[in-house]
């Protein structure tokens, strides 16, 4: 059955075709006839099942058909989602559909200045994609009025309930017209969702396109039983394999610390958690999407908010507290029909918790006891040569150079920041003073610098050799291994163990 057969207007097919979407998924095939006809729909589909287009297509089609002019501060449609990341993902999918239909869209969430959001609402927008908190703030300030909303969508309703957003969601939905269309989509349907359904949906049609607890098909589940001291070396090895990896931790502090440790060990990693500013979140997700970062270390905030189709591996560095979180985390892989692997790291004291977790999730993982990063099961689960990048990934903005200073190595530090597992020729630079040392170079020559007094020395390592030199005032020393243009090194098999934190 095609999208046209389900009632999707032909004019909306081009943006789907451009994205390679030509066949409806089960949740889309089940819900589209009812939602396009204007009925209230309660749809359950697990993560990666195609729920986003299941509500975006009827949303756009119905607004396009109604032809109601947009008015200042009164959006015609509202989509509520629990996280900023999810709002951004929905906006990305909606943009080409809205453009074809001549509709305007505005995202509304916290963590950024409200000025652009207020200005857009004042000018009039057709669709608002929002997190509940910021939208309530803007309504309270008189910048937004929901009385003209024709279609309301609540995405990831169960996650809204888990995060304690239901009171705000109920207040917002109560401000929309009673006879407006409401579409509620969720990965699970439980008691928290029943409250919303009974209060706001009018004779809803319920569609459940897949099992309520079963993980995505073609997803392989593994548990690695290891000692605590092997946790970081094993994570370094798994994340250095080819492809994108998402690693989950329980705490924000844990995500930040693990991302730092992976970068120190040559794995380009970024973090995602609630303590980050919106600018940092955006930079980190851009790095992950673009491939500059191969690993994303996240708390459960990301389990619902990341939609990346080619995540090959999900690692639970900390087992989640309950099975719903496990399934939502694991849903970051095996999306859109692709295969995926899910690995849970389990220490001795976590055995009973992990057994209870997998039993509740109704999965039977393969359990392997591993004794470190050399264990052959790691290569089987994450095949391919391990690749390391000197220094990992640094997303901090580069500091402006001092007057007259430029280049890869600064004076007195010359080639001192060189090599470590890299190949290439060191740059030269001018500027400050200081002391540095290069270590573990493979080949190449260190750069020289001019400037204040300082020392540069090399530490002997593998095949690389480094000269050492003593700088005098005004003349920087010559270092051993300069920074290379190509900082990547491939080594078949193993990481060689992590550096201490």
Query: Is residue 214, in this structure, part of any structural domain at all?
Result: no
Q: Say yes or no: 144 and 182 in one domain.
A: yes
Residue 304 pLDDT: 60
Compute the distance between CA of residue 452 and CA of residue 473 in angstroms, rounded to an integer: 5
Within a domain: 365:
yes
Task: Give the 3-state secondary structure of residue 474.
Answer: coil
Residues 174 and 233 in one domain: no
Same domain, 238 and 327: yes
User: What is the 3-class SS of 62-77, one letter each residue?
Assistant: HHHHHCCCCECCECCE
Neighbours of 214 (CB within 10 A): 13
Q: Are residues 182 and 276 in the same domain?
A: no
Cα-based torsion angle of the residue sequence 169, 174, 178, 184 in order, rounded to the nearest 10 degrees: 10
Q: Do 241 and 280 belong together in one domain?
A: yes
Q: Which of 144, 150, 145 is nearest to 179 (CA)?
A: 150
Examine the fold and report which residue of 182, 208, 234 is the final residue of a domain before the chain moves on.
208
- One domain, residues 151 and 38: yes
Largest CA distance in the chain: 84
Query: pLDDT tens digit string along 436-471?
Result: 333 333 333 333 333 333 333 333 333 333 333 333
pLDDT at 497: 55
**End position of a domain, from candidates 168, 186, 208:** 208
The residue written with tokens 């006891």 in the block is 369
Domain count for the chain: 3
User: 64-68, 235-239, 485-489: lowest mean pLDDT where?
Assistant: 485-489
Same structural domain for residues 167 and 135?
A: yes
Cα–Cα dist 175/59, whole Å: 19
**91 and 31 within one domain:** yes
- Identify the domain boundary among 389, 418, 447: 389
CATH no. for residue 333? 3.40.50.300
Residue 36 CA to residue 386 CA, distance in Å, equals 49
Mean pLDDT of 358-377: 92
Q: Are residues 185 and 253 in the same domain?
A: no
Please write the tens of the pLDDT for every residue from 68-115: 999 999 999 999 998 888 898 899 999 999 999 999 999 999 988 999
Range of lowest pLDDT (111-125, 365-379, 468-482): 468-482
Residue at 267 is within a domain: yes
100 and 202: one domain? Answer: yes
Reported pTM = 0.57
Residue 153 covered by a domain: yes
| Within-domain flag for 251 | yes
- Of residues 50 and 87, more confidence is placed in 87
Residue bearing the bigger pLDDT, 393 or 307: 393
More confident call, 475 vs 221: 221
Decide if 401 is inside a domain.
no
User: Quick one: 148 and 259 in the same domain?
Assistant: no
Domain extent for 418: 409-482
Nearest C-alpha neighbor of 15 from the set 99, 94, 89, 96: 96
Q: What three-state secondary structure class fits 257?
A: helix
């Amino acid at each position: 059955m095609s999208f046209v057969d389900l009632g999707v207007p032909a004019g909306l097919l081009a943006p789907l075709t451009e994205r390679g979407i030509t066949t409806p998924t089960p949740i889309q095939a089940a819900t589209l006839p009812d939602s396009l006809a204007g009925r209230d729909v309660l749809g359950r589909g697990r993560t990666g099942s195609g729920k986003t287009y299941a509500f975006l297509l009827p949303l756009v089609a119905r607004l396009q058909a109604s032809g109601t002019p947009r008015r200042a501060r009164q959006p015609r449609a509202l989509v509520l989602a629990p996280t900023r990341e999810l709002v951004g993902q929905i906006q990305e999918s909606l943009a080409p559909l809205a453009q074809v239909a001549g509709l305007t869209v505005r995202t509304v969430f916290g963590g950024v200045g409200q000025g652009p959001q207020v200005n857009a609402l004042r000018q009039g927008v057709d669709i608002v994609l929002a997190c509940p908190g910021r939208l309530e703030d803007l309504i309270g300030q008189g910048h937004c009025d929901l009385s003209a909303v024709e279609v309301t969508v609540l995405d990831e309703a169960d996650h809204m309930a888990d995060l304690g957003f239901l009171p705000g969601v109920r207040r917002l939905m109560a401000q929309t017209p009673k006879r407006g269309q409401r579409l509620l989509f969720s990965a699970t349907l439980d008691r928290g969702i029943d409250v919303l359904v009974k209060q706001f949906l009018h004779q809803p049609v319920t569609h459940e396109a897949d099992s309520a607890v079963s993980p995505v098909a073609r997803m392989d589940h593994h548990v690695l039983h290891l000692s605590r001291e092997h946790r970081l070396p094993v994570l370094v090895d798994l994340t250095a394999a080819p492809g994108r990896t998402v690693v989950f931790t329980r705490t924000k502090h844990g995500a930040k610390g693990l991302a730092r440790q992976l970068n120190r060990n040559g794995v380009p990693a970024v973090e995602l958690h609630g303590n980050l500013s919106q600018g940092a979140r955006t930079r980190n997700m851009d790095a992950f999407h673009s491939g500059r970062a191969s690993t994303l270390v996240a708390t459960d905030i990301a389990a619902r908010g990341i939609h990346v189709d080619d995540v090959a591996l999900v690692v639970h560095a900390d087992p989640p507290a309950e099975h719903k979180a496990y399934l939502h985390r694991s849903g970051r892989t095996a999306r859109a029909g692709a295969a995926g692997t899910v690995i849970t790291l389990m220490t001795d004291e976590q055995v009973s918790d992990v057994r209870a977790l997998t039993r509740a999730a109704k999965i039977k993982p393969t359990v392997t006891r591993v004794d470190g990063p050399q264990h052959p099961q790691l290569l089987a689960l994450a095949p391919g040569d391990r690749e390391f990048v000197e220094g990992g990934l640094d997303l901090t903005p580069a500091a402006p150079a001092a007057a007259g200073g430029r280049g890869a190595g600064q004076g007195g530090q010359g080639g001192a920041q060189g090599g470590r597992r890299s190949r290439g020729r060191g740059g030269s630079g001018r500027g400050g003073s200081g002391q540095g040392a290069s270590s573990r170079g493979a080949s190449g020559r260190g750069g020289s610098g001019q400037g204040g007094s300082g020392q540069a020395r090399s530490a002997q390592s593998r095949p690389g050799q480094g000269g050492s030199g003593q700088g005098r005032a005004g003349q920087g020393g010559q270092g051993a291994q300069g920074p290379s243009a190509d900082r990547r090194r491939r080594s078949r098999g193993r990481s060689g163990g992590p550096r201490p934190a």
